[in-house]
Amino acid sequence: MIISGKTSVFGVIGDPIAHTLSPLMHNRAIEVMGIDAVYVPFNVKPPFIEDAIKSIVSFGIKGLNVTVPYKTEVIKYLENSTKVAVAVGAVNTIINNNCILIGDNTDVYGFEMCLEKDGGLETFPERICILGAGGAARGVVYACLMREEVKEVTVINRTFSKAEKLADELSHVTGKTPVPMPADEETIKKIVPAAGLVVNTTSVGMHPDIEHSPVPDPNVFHENQVVCDIIYNPLETKFLRNAASQGAKTVGGLAMLAYQGARSLSLWTGMEAPADVMLDALKEKFGLKK
Ligand code: ATR
């Protein structure tokens, strides 16, 4: 890669940022696309986030990804945000469109694409069960509610009041009301088997907590389900292992990461970004591919 005075700058802001995989997959894609650009990480500390957003225009940065803990906060510093970003209440992509900053959310697209490509779901099942009611759950629940074919979305969460709040907020923006439920054994036993798609958006099972699952009993899964975990470290969580052991089709979080990244890069460049190249870069990092 040769950086010159004409090189476009893209990047990611967050805190912490040291473990981000985005520079790896974006720079690989940039190389394959043959464009004069570079993607860099920026560790922005909380007192500086507003200044950092304003500096995007000052520095002529063409586009940024936004990660933890700023996805919600940045909306108020942007001139415009897309309908999906406003509905989900989170921006993961900022586009510098001739000095006008636009906030978008490509996590929703990433979720839909990984289910379509890896889960074989062109249409979603009628009944869906989402585990968790945090920031990551919002995009996933939104994507499900927006599908006409979906009849019922149940949101199961340890803290029931948060599931209720999420259901209430998203029903206002989508016109469909998710069903909030507490995360007890009885609920899981009743709701999970009835769902054609089950998605874990909680952090349970994430490295180093790899022996835990938000659904401890494997018997609630079956072969007529697609089961998705948005966690990508480890690549196969206990939740997915349990589901696979009962014949369910499983989808891990790595593909979602690649698809959301590809969508961001496409928005910044106006070119189709190679999602497969980005996914391969991530798989290599995890020792899955040479
Ligand atoms: P994110 O933005 O990644 O979704 P978050 O907003 O902190 O992060 O949400 C984390 C989710 O994981 C929440 O649904 C949380 O449940 P609570 O609302 O009850 O906190 C869930 N979660 C985290 N640790 C958990 C645990 N040990 N058991 C069950 N749920 C857990």
pLDDT digits (tens, 9 = 90+) for 33-48: 999 999 999 999 999 9
pLDDT at 229: 98
Ligand 1 atom showing the smallest separation from residue 71 Cα: 2
Place 1 in a pLDDT band, splitting at 50, 70 and 90. Answer: confident
What percent of the chain is modeled with pLDDT above 70?
100
Question: Residue 191 Cα, ligand 1 centroid: separation in angstroms?
Answer: 19
Task: Retrieve residue 284's tokens.
Answer: 């290599």
**Closest C-alpha residue for ligand 1 atom 9:** 134
| Measured CA distances, 4 to 1, 8, 12, 57 (Å) | 10, 9, 20, 19
3-state DSSP call for residue 41?
Answer: strand
Interval 55-79: pLDDT, tens = 999 999 999 999 999 999 999 999 9
* Centroid of ligand 1 to alpha carbon of 2 (angstroms): 42
Q: What does the pLDDT average to over 26-33?
A: 98
69 CB-near residues (< 8 Å, 6+ apart): 14, 15, 46
Give the whole-angstrom CA distance, residue 142 versus residue 176: 10
Smallest CA-to-CA distance from 105 within 61, 147, 62, 136 is with 136
Question: Which positions are catalytic?
Answer: 71
When comparing pLDDT for 288 and 9, which is higher?
A: 9
Please write the tens of the pLDDT for every residue from 80-102: 999 999 999 999 999 999 999 99
Task: For residue 136, give the ligand 1 atom closest to its CA.
Answer: 4
pTM of the model: 0.96
Listing from the earlier edge strand, what are the strands of the sheet with 80-81? 37-43, 8-14, 63-66, 93-97, 100-104, 80-81
Q: Angle CA(276)–CA(263)–CA(133) in degrees, nearest 5?
A: 105
Query: Contact at 8 Å (CB) between 159 and 127?
Result: no
* C-alpha–C-alpha distance, residues 140 and 110, integer Å: 10
Q: Whose CA is nearest to atom 26 of ligand 1?
A: 204
C-beta of 204 in contact with ligand 1 (< 6 A):
yes
pLDDT (tens digit per residue) in 112-159: 999 999 999 999 999 999 999 999 999 999 999 999 999 999 999 999
What distance in angstroms lies between residue 260's CA and the mean position of ligand 1's atoms? 21
Ligand 1 mutation target, pool 68, 158, 160, 207, most atoms within 8 A of CB = 158
Of 43, 79, 13, the closest CA to residue 264 belongs to 13
Quote the mean pLDDT of the chain.
97
User: What per-residue confidence (pLDDT) applies to 206?
Assistant: 97
**Residue 290: predicted pLDDT:** 56
pLDDT at 288: 86
Of the candidates 167, 242, 252, 175, the residue with the CA atom closest to the CA atom of residue 211: 242
